[in-house]
Structure 1
Amino acid sequence: MTVYRRASGWMVLALMVFCSSLAARDLNQDEALALRQQGVILPLEQLLQQAMARYPGSRLLEAELEKKHGQYAYEVELVTTEGVVREIKLDATTGVLLKDEEDD
């Protein structure tokens, strides 16, 4: 019975590690700058302009660069002139819109 518990414990641990590796990771400003200088991602200013143009007059709340499944994306939160908070996700390498939804 002890061997079974130990084996199942290792399986649970391995599953936890695997699942945590699939989660998105926020990159810090130094990492973002290095990726921009290497030409891996587009300038934040360009993508912010694109996101803000979807809702003229909106105000920026937050912008984060994240990496998930090997893909870089900017997640932008803004508040529209109607007071609605929107979450916009753009592919950081191409600028393609990935998501635009109301944030709760």
Structure 2
Amino acid sequence: MAILYARRPLALLLVLAALLPETSALAGRDQDEIRRLHQAKQILALDTIITNHRRQYPGGKLLEAELEFEEGRYVYEIKILGDDGAVREFEYDARSGELWHLKH
């Protein structure tokens, strides 16, 4: 398990209704910063991360998504309720889209 340093959530609970109608979340107060990071190509769009995640891990229900700054990088943390009833947290490097960490 990776040690998490400088964990500074950007309070990004995105409105995911367009992506997954069964999920409701609140827009974070740092939307301008997130938009700036995306336009500067510092992070991928969340829908890109979710689409790629679904290819690797089909099924389950998205519960929450956050953009965080950990160990000098931006990370998307997504919580998924699996078909088996277990909640898992997947952390993806927000710039490359690569799976960085999985918490069971």
Instruction: Give the alignment's TM-score, normalised by structure 2.
Output: 0.70
Instruction: Give 3-state SS (helix, strand or coil) of 1:40's partner.
Output: coil
- In our comparison, the structure showing a higher alpha carbon Rg is 1
Distance of 2:55 and 2:82 partners within structure 1:
11
- Greater RCO (Cα-Cα under 8 Å, separation 6 or more): 2
Gaps of 5+ in 1: 1-21
Letter in 1 for 2:6: A
- Could you report, residue by residue, the CA deviation over 1:45-87 in whole angstroms, capped at 9, with x for unpaired residues? 0101222333312110001001123211100101111111010
Q: How many residues align?
A: 81
In 2, are the aligned partners of 1:58 and 1:79 still within 8 Å (CA)?
yes
Identity of aligned residues (%): 41
| Structure 1 vs Structure 2 CA RMSD | 1.4
Q: What CA distance in whole angstroms lies between the structure 2 residues aligned with 1:70 and 1:23? A: 8
Which segments of structure 1 move beyond 3 Å, counting only runs of 4 or more?
none
- Of Structure 1 and Structure 2, the greater helix share is in 1
- Give the aligned partner of residue 43 of structure 1: 45
- Of 70, 75, 78, 2:77 maps to 75
